[in-house]
């Protein structure tokens, strides 16, 4: 009995020791930089409440899976990052919590960047509960990204992101280099607030890869996000890589679509696309390339047509280069519901065969999925 009691007491002491996390309170950029440089696995660096202006935070360190290094606000919502400021994250098992970016803009290419330089990216790192509110360039033609992913297995969770009015995707995933492929990033449980119209390209809320890395396997998860009036351009989300998954997201009055622009084998499941009677620009899903599964989605009051149809299946270009339009093949569209939508499902969207005498052959979208008798499976759907 005595031995059992000693064993139980030892377990309790060990547990208490493991949970004895060191918290380091810092009150200025110099103290913050010093604490990051000296940090070790399990440390929690706490930024003192107040305004931090013109601060470039370089969170470069290495935690461990069970003992990440955490950088957080003293009180959520009371550490304000203002002026010309940014956050770089590089290393392993790092977490940033509850910072509030406002009244300023980034002097570099990103507000939150998951790398420090070409040799140092982020792996298994998280940004959680942060706010980016109108932290936008004064010149709306100047391009930046508010969140730029590099590395692998990084996460953006439970953040509030709204008000970007300048050029560039709000969130961009970079896949250049083998060390950034098979990235398995997670973008989940975020609120993406209104983004004004750009009047052209470069206004996506998310861009996952680019044309020239579109054959790279990415396995990005975009789930449980609420996108509210994200009207930057016709592509609200532009998927340009392979094996991405979009599930349980709400697209509320977004004047654009979730576009499978490049890349293959995406899964779009159980998302909600909600429009109204006051806009013909609110779309659903635009389909290009091969091997996608589009299932269990709900489309309500979408008045868009052609490129902004509820589900628009595009025509392709013969022998298309990576940056144009590949033919749609082997796509499953199943168990979706359309309620009060003008154009629930359209094929041959973007066909411009009549312009063969004007445009070069490399621009003619002539390959129709139905004409080629390539398989698309339409299971039971509800259309009202």
d(CA 24, CA 4): 37
Mark whether 128 and 181 lie in a shared domain: no
Contacts of 306 (CB under 8 A, 6+ apart): 312, 343, 346, 349, 350
DSSP string, 154-204: -EEES-EEE---SSS-SEEE---SGGGSS---EEES-EE--B---SSSS--
State both tokens at 74: 């003293």
Q: Which residue, 285, 273, 299, is CA-closest to 332?
A: 285
Domain membership of residue 65 (yes or no) is: yes
Residues 194 and 103 in one domain: no
Residues 295 and 176 both lie in one domain: yes
Tell me, yes or no, whether 105 and 198 share the same domain: no
Q: Same domain for 357 and 221?
A: yes
Let me know whether 269 and 180 are in one domain. Answer: yes
**Which H or E element spans position 365?**
none
193 within domain boundaries: yes
Count the domains in the chain.
Answer: 2
17 CB-near residues (< 8 Å, 6+ apart): none
**Is residue 261 within 8 Å of 239, Cβ to Cβ?**
yes
**pLDDT tens-digit map of 188-202:** 999 999 999 886 778
DSSP calls for 88-135: EEEEESEEEE--EEEEEE-SSSEEEESEEETTEEEES-EEES-EEES-
Q: Judge whether 159 lies within some domain.
A: no
Check residue 371 and give its pLDDT.
Answer: 46
Phi-psi region of 210 (alpha: psi -120 to 50; beta: other; left: phi over 0): beta
What does the alpha-carbon distance between residue 98 and residue 20 come to, in Å, rounded to a whole number?
Answer: 22
Neighbouring CB atoms inside 10 A of 24's CB total 16
> Residue 106 above 70 pLDDT?
yes
**Mean pLDDT over all residues of the chain?**
88
- On whether both 368 and 267 belong to a single domain, the answer is yes
For residue 71, being part of any structural domain is answered with: yes
Please name the residue ranges forming H helices in the chain: 2-18, 29-38
Owning domain of residue 329? 168-384
pLDDT in tens, 121-141: 999 999 999 999 999 999 999
**For the domain that residue 301 is a member of, what is the CATH number?**
2.160.20.10
pTM of the model as a whole? 0.90
> Do residues 173 and 137 share a domain?
no
| In-domain check, residue 148 | no
Indicate whether 128 and 204 sit together in one domain.
no
- Paired strand residues for 154: none
Q: Does any domain span residue 59? A: yes
What is the average pLDDT across 255-271? Answer: 96
Indicate the pLDDT class of residue 329, thresholds 50, 70 and 90: confident
What is the Cα 238 distance to its own chain's centre?
A: 9
In a domain, 3, yes or no: no
Q: What phi, psi does 261 have (nearest 5°)?
A: -70, -45
pLDDT tens per residue across span 331-359: 999 999 999 999 888 887 755 555 666 66
What contacts 374, CB < 8 A, 6 or more positions away? Answer: 327, 328, 329, 330
């Amino acid at each position: 009995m005595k031995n059992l009691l000693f064993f139980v007491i030892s377990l309790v002491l060990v547990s208490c020791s493991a949970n004895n996390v060191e918290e380091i309170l810092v009150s200025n950029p110099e103290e913050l930089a010093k604490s990051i440089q000296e940090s070790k696995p399990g440390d929690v660096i706490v930024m003192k409440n107040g305004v931090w202006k013109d601060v470039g935070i370089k969170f470069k360190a290495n935690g461990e899976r069970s003992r990440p290094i955490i950088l957080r606000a003293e009180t959520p919502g009371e550490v304000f990052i203002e002026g010309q400021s940014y956050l770089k994250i590089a290393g392993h098992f790092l977490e940033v919590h509850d910072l509030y970016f406002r009244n300023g803009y980034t002097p570099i290419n990103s507000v939150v960047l998951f790398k420090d330089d070409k040799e140092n990216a982020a792996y298994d790192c998280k940004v959680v509960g942060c706010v980016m509110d109108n932290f936008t360039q004064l010149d709306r033609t100047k391009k930046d990204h508010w969140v730029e992913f590099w590395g692998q297995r990084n996460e953006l969770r439970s953040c509030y992101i709204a008000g970007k009015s300048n050029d560039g995707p709000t969130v961009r995933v970079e896949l250049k280099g083998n060390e950034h492929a098979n990235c398995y990033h997670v973008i989940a449980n975020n609120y993406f607030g209104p983004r004004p119209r750009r009047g052209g390209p470069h206004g996506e809320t998310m861009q996952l890869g680019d044309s020239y890395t579109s054959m790279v396997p990415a396995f990005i998860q975009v789930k449980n996000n609420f996108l509210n009036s994200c009207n930057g351009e016709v592509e609200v989300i532009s998927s340009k890589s392979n094996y991405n998954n979009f599930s349980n997201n709400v697209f509320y009055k977004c004047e654009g679509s979730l576009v499978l622009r490049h890349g293959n084998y995406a899964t779009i499941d159980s998302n909600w696309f909600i429009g109204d009677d006051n806009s013909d620009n609110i779309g659903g899903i635009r389909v290009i390339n091969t091997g996608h599964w589009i299932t269990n989605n709900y489309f309500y009051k979408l008045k868009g047509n052609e490129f902004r149809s509820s589900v628009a299946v595009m025509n392709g270009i013969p022998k298309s280069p990576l940056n144009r339009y590949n033919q749609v093949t082997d796509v499953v569209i199943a168990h979706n519901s359309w309620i009060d939508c003008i154009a629930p499902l359209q094929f041959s969207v973007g066909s411009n065969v009549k312009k063969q005498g004007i445009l070069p052959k490399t621009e003619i979208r002539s390959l129709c999925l139905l004409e080629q008798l390539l398989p698309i499976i339409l299971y039971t759907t509800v259309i009202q």
